[in-house]
Each structure stands twice: as C-alpha cells, then as structure tokens.
Chains A and B, each alone.
Chain A
C-alpha cells in the first residue's frame, strides 16, 4: 500500500517542490562525470481546442486545488475548471455573472480562495488565518459595518440593496482581509497589483487626474443610483434608463483605467511565464544531451576514438535540433507506444553504460506528448541510477492504467542524501521533477543511503486507453 500512498500524496506538493526549491538533484559523488546523450525531451505542448471543444478542457482527478499556474486572481476558476473538465473561461464567466447578479459570486470565490489549498501547498489559507488574531478581529469588525449598511439601506427605502449586496460584500471584504494577511508572498503580490491602480498613484499629476476621475465617477454613480431609487414613482420610463446609463458611466470612469491596466499586466505576466517555461524546457534538453555528452567526453579522455565518436554524434544531434527542429533523441518515428519506448530506454542505457536494465511493462498505450515527457524523465532517472548508484542492475517497471501511467526506476545501489546534492546538479530537478510537473505529472524519489533509490513517476492520461488485447 505504501507504494500507492506515495504515488498519490497530491501532485501539488511536488509541483511546488520542483520549482520552489529549485534544486538539488543528481546523484552526488566525488566523481563528476556524466554520460548520457540522446535523451527524450518533452515536446512543448500547446493545447489545441477544436471547434466543438470550447466548453471542455482537460479533466483532472484528485482533490480540488487552486491553480497558481493559470490565475487571474486566486486561481480558483482554473482549479474548478480543471477538476470539472470545463474550459476555464466558461467558469470565469459564471463567477462574474454570479457576482453581477447577487454579489454572491465574489463571495463564493473569496471563500474558495480561503478554503481550497493551492496546488503545491498542503494547507489552505483559512487554517493559517485561524491563528491570525488581528486579521480575525479586522474581519469581525466588518460585521457592524454590514449592519450599518443594512440600516442605511432600509432607511433609504432600499432594503433589497442591503440584502442582496450587504452580505456578499461583507463576506468578500472579510475574506480578502484574511487572505491579504495570510496568503503566501506571491498571492499577496497579485492582490497588491490588482489594488495598485486604486491605491497607489505615483506623481502629483497622475494623482490629480485620478482624483478628478474618481470624483466624476462617484458623482455619476451616485446621481445614477439616486435616479434609480427615487425616480420610479413620478418619473417617466426615461428616468430609470438614464439612471442605469449614469451608473454604467460612473463604473466605467471609476474602474476603466484600473481594468485596462490589469488586463495589460496579466498579458505581460503570461508571456513571461511562457518564456520561462520554454527556457526550462530547453535547459532540460541541453542538460540531457550536450552536458551529458561533455561529461562523457571528459571521462573517456584517454580514448580519442570514442571521444571523436561522441562529439560527432552530439554534433549531428544538435544540428538536427537547431536546424531541422527535431528534438535531440526525440522519439519521432522511432517508437509509437509506451512499451516500445521503455524497451528503447533499456537497450540504449544497457548499450551505453554496460549496466543491465531489467524492464517490465504491464499494458501498453499510444505515446502522446505527455507520455513522451514521462519517458524522457524515466530515461534520465535510469541514466542517473546507472551512473551513480553503483548497482549492477536497475529495474524499470511501467504500468498503464486507465487513468494514469506509472513508472518506477529502482536500483539497489548506494543511495544518497538529497540535501547534500550541490545546487548546480540539475539532473533530477529539471529533467525529472520539472519535466513531469510541466505536464501535470508527478515525481517522487525515495532513497536510503546504502540501500538504494527508487524514483516513482506518475502521469495522468489524456487520451483513452488503447486496448492492446481485446477481451
């Protein structure tokens, strides 16, 4: 059962671990050479939505998690979308409509933000907020405010306003206070950025412009509301209409610049993220190919013929990547199924390193980009085991299940201390952990010094099962 337990300890924690700690992976040893050209890079993957697919996106299993990788505010919508298999835009529209209709959309969003842990975190913000006394006091202080709003609203003869907006407003505000005080650094940064245009104008000219804008907007908004509230009894049909127009104009003047700025910032952030991912992918490929070959060359320095051979092979590979767009060691045309890929790893690693690899596969399926990344990670883990463990045999076990593919690389070698791995050894961090994380998979490493190491890789399956044997 243990095996299952660690396979399922939540993809999130590892996701974060892989990116956050950034680091230390690769079997440590005094001997710092590393053979292994021809890796499998995960191809970059751009989701393509066909015409009928705008409603649905890829569906994940497991508990609901906020997705900080694709967020406009807290990542709640994309988390819900991923869990339910809807397109994230649809979920966002639902939230916005619910907010406009009653205000409870925003309240629900904030509550979810508080209660649902982010992918990669074990606890939610609410559990941290429980120990935040000042935050709780502040949040509780909003309740009298609500009563005040309700009182004023009913005094103005608009009890409906208080009951539809008061509660959600209070919940939202209280929730935001708690999140603001207890969220991790990056989420605070997002909130700051969202609030910045409202709070922090820079320069006196901008300030006066904003004050002017705010004044105009407020006047428009208030006069619109007044027209709506008091216009009905005597006025013609035109007056409520004018009221609505004024309210809308007020909102646009008040929030327009802010909205534009958020949209621009989000776009910039997305581009930066895409660039960073591209870079990480490229780093993983170079690590698996060029760096590994260079290490191999250092190690075989006394054998000129082999060095020439290695250099030539690497040159060919690099050329075909740079000029023909063929990823180094890519599976293009070589293998089309997972079992064939595992066999190829076995053959290549055995041929290059002279250590036997015992490969066992259960079930089979077609390769897609995700599974190609899984194989690339498995290859890197196998090469690592062969290089550093000192074990004469490395076991490779792959099992295709309807929902996921698991792959285990195990050696009974010397094991290592993950904390002692120098930070510049990127093998496991980039080629295994991050590569899996970018595809929604997970990787765990269990190692005991003197007893061996096992790397467990799990990738959820996107496509349906290809039945290798019909029953």
Chain B
C-alpha cells in the first residue's frame, strides 16, 4: 500500500499510540519517524481516553488487546464526544471476533503489527483522510463474518437486507484484498477506478458498523466459544 499523495489536510497527520508494550510503542514511534507527528501515547484504556481527549490527534493507533479492556472501549468512549478523532486498529495476535468488535465500535481500519513502516505511514494517512484501511486479514474476517449471516429465510425475515449482506462486487474487492492485492491492483483487475475501490471498502465498513443484525454478534460469540 504505497500509494502516495493521500494526506491529511494540514500536512503531517498527528498520531497517538495506544499499546500496553512500551517497547512496541517506541518501535512504532521510530518507524513512523518524522513522516507523522506523534503527539502522545498511552498504555491502557483509562489514560488513553483522558489523553486523547486532551491532545485531539488525527489518528489513534490502537492495540486491540489492552489490560484494562479491549481497544473497542477506547473507541466507544470517545466516538460520541470527539467524532473527528479516527482510529486504526493494530494487533499482533488477532482473534477475529476482537478485531471485528473494534471495527464495529468505529475504527476505520485494521493492520497487523508486522506491517512495514512505509505501509503503516500510508495507512495512517488514509485513515486521516477519512478512508478505510483493510489488511488482507481483516478482509478475510469480514468475508467470514458476512458468510455466517445466513440469507434471510421465511423463518428469519431480514431486518435490513441492504446492511446485512455484501454485494457481489464488495465481496470481489474483499477477496482481492485478502489475496494481497493493493487498491491500485484491484482497480486494474476489476477495470474500475481506485476511487471506486475505495468507496466499496468504505461501504463494507459502513455495513459492518451499522448492521444491527444479531447474527454478527452471534458469529463473534460462537467464534469465541469454538
């Protein structure tokens, strides 16, 4: 994901790092270098909420797992009061249900901790610009989650079919992301513009966040039990 040119308004994006490992925080800090402006860091849910509300960054790099709760608690606490702050989930070992929970809480994307510095900067810029960032793994999780939602039958009328199912095109885009294609490569593959790819991904994100379908929750619960 090395598409240049996507930039937060006003130059370098201001970034806040939430992770319980000090070593990892400093690692990310040095990897990001001076390409972004790191305005603060926190190691747990409570201090993170307080300091983010104070420093108002463009993007919060958020660990999915935190000692005092999940990353989604941070998103939930700040979403209503500070809608301009955007979240990018970052995780090493990722249970799908935790990742989906953070995304459903309102994070704009998810990348794995193995991501390269350049790609991470790029992802931060995308999120700062309001786009969604899907790693291959997240694309896989989402396909899985939506596949688990059985098509509405007679016994289970759809609450909102538009939100509960992905379109064929959206699935196609997610599959290509899962196969390791960049947005640009997907655009070329499907003969559409990169902007359209972008909008498909955003639409998937919206469905993921807005779908009230209890199957999504149930999928997560069952994954946890399995």
Residues on A lying within 8 angstroms of B by beta carbon are: 1-4, 356, 358, 360-363, 393, 395, 397, 399, 408, 410, 412, 454, 468-471
12 pairs, CB–CB < 8 Å, chain A vs chain B: A3-B175, A358-B112, A358-B136, A360-B140, A361-B140, A363-B147, A395-B180, A397-B178, A397-B180, A399-B178, A471-B148, A471-B219
B residues 167-203 touching A (CB-CB < 8 Å): 172, 175-176, 178-181, 189-190
Contacts of A469 in B (CB 8 A): 148, 219, 222-223, 226
Contacts of A471 in B (CB 8 A): 148-150, 215, 218-219
Contacts of B125 in A (CB 8 A): none
Contacts of B140 in A (CB 8 A): 360-362, 397
Max chain A CB contacts within 10 Å: which of B114, B136, B176, B215? B136
Task: State the CA gap A3–B173 with chains docked (Å).
Answer: 10
Contacts of A2 in B (CB 8 A): 189-190
Query: Given known contacts A360-B178, A397-B136, what 20 new A-B pairs fall within 8 Å (CB)?
Result: A2-B189, A2-B190, A356-B114, A358-B136, A360-B137, A360-B140, A361-B140, A362-B140, A362-B143, A362-B144, A363-B144, A395-B179, A397-B140, A397-B180, A399-B143, A412-B180, A469-B148, A469-B222, A469-B226, A471-B215
B139 at interface by CB-CB < 8 Å: yes
B residues 101-145 touching A (CB-CB < 8 Å): 112, 114, 136-137, 139-140, 143-144
Contacts of B175 in A (CB 8 A): 3, 397, 399
Contact A410 B179, beta carbon cutoff 8 Å: yes
Residues on B lying within 8 angstroms of A by beta carbon are: 112, 114, 136-137, 139-140, 143-144, 147-150, 172, 175-176, 178-181, 189-190, 215, 218-219, 222-223, 226
List the 9 shortest-distance A-B pairs measured between CB atoms, nearest first.
A395-B180, A360-B140, A471-B150, A397-B179, A362-B143, A408-B179, A410-B180, A360-B178, A397-B178
Contact B147 A362, beta carbon cutoff 8 Å: yes
Min C-beta distance of B78 to chain A, whole Å: 30
Max chain B CB contacts within 10 Å: which of A3, A360, A395? A360
Contact A1 B179, beta carbon cutoff 8 Å: no
Contacts of A362 in B (CB 8 A): 140, 143-144, 147, 178
Min C-beta distance of B148 to chain A, whole Å: 5
Task: State the CA gap A393–B114 with chains docked (Å).
Answer: 10
Min C-beta distance of B165 to chain A, whole Å: 13
Contact B136 A395, beta carbon cutoff 8 Å: yes
**Interface class of chain A by DSSP:** strand
Q: Which residue of B lies closest to A471 (CB)?
A: B150
Task: State the CA gap A393–B181 with chains docked (Å).
Answer: 12
Contacts of B190 in A (CB 8 A): 1-2
Q: Which residue of A lies closest to B144 (CB)?
A: A362
Task: State the CA gap A189–B75 with chains docked (Å).
Answer: 72
Contacts of A468 in B (CB 8 A): 226
Task: State the CA gap A4–B171 with chains docked (Å).
Answer: 12
Max chain A CB contacts within 10 Å: which of B114, B139, B140, B215? B140
Contact B222 A454, beta carbon cutoff 8 Å: no
Contacts of B149 in A (CB 8 A): 471
Contacts of A356 in B (CB 8 A): 114
Task: State the CA gap A195–B1 with chains docked (Å).
Answer: 64
Q: Which residue of B lies closest to A393 (CB)?
A: B180
Task: State the CA gap A410–B181 with chains docked (Å).
Answer: 9
A3, A358, A361: the one within 8 Å of B172 (CB): A3
Q: Which residue of A lies closest to B138 (CB)?
A: A360
Task: State the CA gap A410–B177 with chains docked (Å).
Answer: 11
Contact B136 A470, beta carbon cutoff 8 Å: no
Task: State the CA gap A454–B181 with chains docked (Å).
Answer: 10
Max chain A CB contacts within 10 Å: which of B112, B114, B140, B180? B180
Given contacts A356-B114, A363-B147, A471-B219, are A3 and B137 in contact (CB under 8 A)?
no
Max chain A CB contacts within 10 Å: which of B149, B172, B179? B179
Task: State the CA gap A470–B189 with chains docked (Å).
Answer: 34
Min C-beta distance of A469 to chain B, whole Å: 5
Task: State the CA gap A408–B177 with chains docked (Å).
Answer: 12
Contacts of A408 in B (CB 8 A): 179-180
Min C-beta distance of B23 to chain A, whole Å: 20
Contacts of A454 in B (CB 8 A): 179
Contacts of B215 in A (CB 8 A): 471
